[in-house]
Every structure is written in C-alpha cells, then in structure tokens.
Amino acid sequence: MRILSDLNRFYHCCRPTQTRNRRTSTMTGRAGLVAVVLCGFLCCQEGGEAQEMRSPDGRRVAYIAARTTDQWSTLFVKEKGKPRDLLPGDVGGTLGSAGRRGIMLGAWAGNEELSFQYHCGTGCVAVYRIDVRTGRVVELWKGAVDSGVHWSPRGDRALVGTHLGGLLMISSEAKHTEVSGCQIVDGKAIGHMYAFEEWMRDSSKVLVRELNCDKFGEVPSGGERLTWDGHNFSLPPQ
C-alpha cells in the first residue's frame, strides 16, 4: 500500500498539466512505473507546481512553486483563483538556507493551518506549521530524518523515522515523544528498530513494525506488527 501511495504521488507530479513540453510530459506521465518514479522524484524535488494539496473544505489549494522573480521555491495558497505567497521575502534567510528547492508540503490540519518541511542540511529536516490567514510560522521540530515524515490523515500529527531505526511522534502543538532505535555496542547494532507502516483512517492508531537490530540496514520485513495509540503518544515501554 505504501508503494502504491508513493507511486500515485509520483504520478501526480508527472501529470500532463505540468508547464513543460506537452509531448514530454504526456509520455512521462504514462510511460510506466520506472518513468513515473524518476519523473516524480525529479519534479517533486525541484519544487514544481505538482506539489499541491487541497484543504479539507476544498476552498484552498496549497502548492510549492518557484517565484518568477528570484526562482526560490516557496509556499503558495490559491483561494478563489488567486495565488498568495505565504513565505514572502527571503525564504532561505527566514528558514535557514538549504538551497532553492528545499520545501515540501506536509498536511492540512483543518482548513486554516498547514504543515510543511524544509531541508536544513544533510539528513536534516525542519517541520513547520503555518497559519494561512496570517502567515505566522511555528517550528514544530528539527532534526535528523532517516526514513521520512509520515502525517496522520487529520494532519495534526506525524511520525518521523529517526536515526538507527527510531521513531518520533510530533504534533501541531510542537509536542513530541521519541522511541529510540538500535544502539551500537562494540561495532554491532543491538536492541530493536521500528518501521512506520500506516495510520488508521481516523488517526486514532498508527501501525509500526518492530524488528531486531541484527536486520539493521536491510529492507524492513518480518518482525512484530504493533499498534500504537495515535492520540496521547502512548508508545511501547523502553
């Protein structure tokens, strides 16, 4: 399911509505899984117009696009057909420069708050929340991310894959709780690591897989499937 979800996201990155050569975009969007993955990776990383997300009430559309003035990728919201730059001015100076293509959409939390991520260096991701009415930005968390930021369907919480198979749960109130992954002792990984699987549709539970650290570095498989409480950050005891 996760693979299909990622491929679906990549397909939308490659859809023919992109502002590029019509023949190229049409062929890329339909040429098969390999082309879809490659195209999705390239255009999403470049902050193209393909990164877009509609608010729950359907009134607003958030998307990432490069400004025509300075080519910096920024966060726009379109309402009633009118786009508005939510990060006017020096995006790199405001968030800490990681290059011109550092922004990625997170999730809507209701109709007026939106989360987004910003690459803050090698392996570093900062997670922000922005009020789309006022433009007020709040940093929710910043740190090393090894296996993605996975937002709940409600958009108010996310599970972050951290160093050595750990998991961190963050909320739109900037609260966070962490479960550590493997420990390195005498050059060997010991303990347990965790792999995100999926959120329940109502965001009440999150499914993860617990694996022994002797499998560290491998594609997660086997192990024990755990169900964690998605509301009060009730995670397995350490």
Q: Which of 191, 171, 196 is nearest to 180 (CA)?
A: 191
Least confident of 91-100, 155-164, 168-177, 213-222: 91-100
What mean pLDDT is predicted for residues 25-36? 33
**Confidence class for position 232, pLDDT limits 50, 70, 90:** low
Q: Residue 177: pLDDT above 70?
A: yes
More confident residue, 232 or 109: 109
Q: What is the pLDDT of residue 14?
A: 38
Handedness of CA 236, 144, 200, 225 (dihedral sign): negative
- The whole-angstrom separation of Cα 181 and Cα 164 is 5
Q: Residue 37: pLDDT above 70?
A: no
Task: List, for residues 114-128, the tens digit of each pLDDT value.
Answer: 999 988 888 889 999
Q: Residue 18: pLDDT above 90?
A: no
More confident residue, 168 or 47: 168
Query: Percent of the chain having pLDDT more than 70?
Result: 69
53 phi/psi in degrees, rounded to 5: -155, 125
CA distances from 211 to 110, 198, 218 (A): 35, 16, 11
Helix (H) or strand (E) holding 143: strand 137-144
**Confidence class for position 105, pLDDT limits 50, 70, 90:** very high
Least confident of 30-44, 53-67, 213-227: 30-44
First-residue to last-residue Cα distance in the chain: 29
What mean pLDDT is predicted for residues 41-46? 38
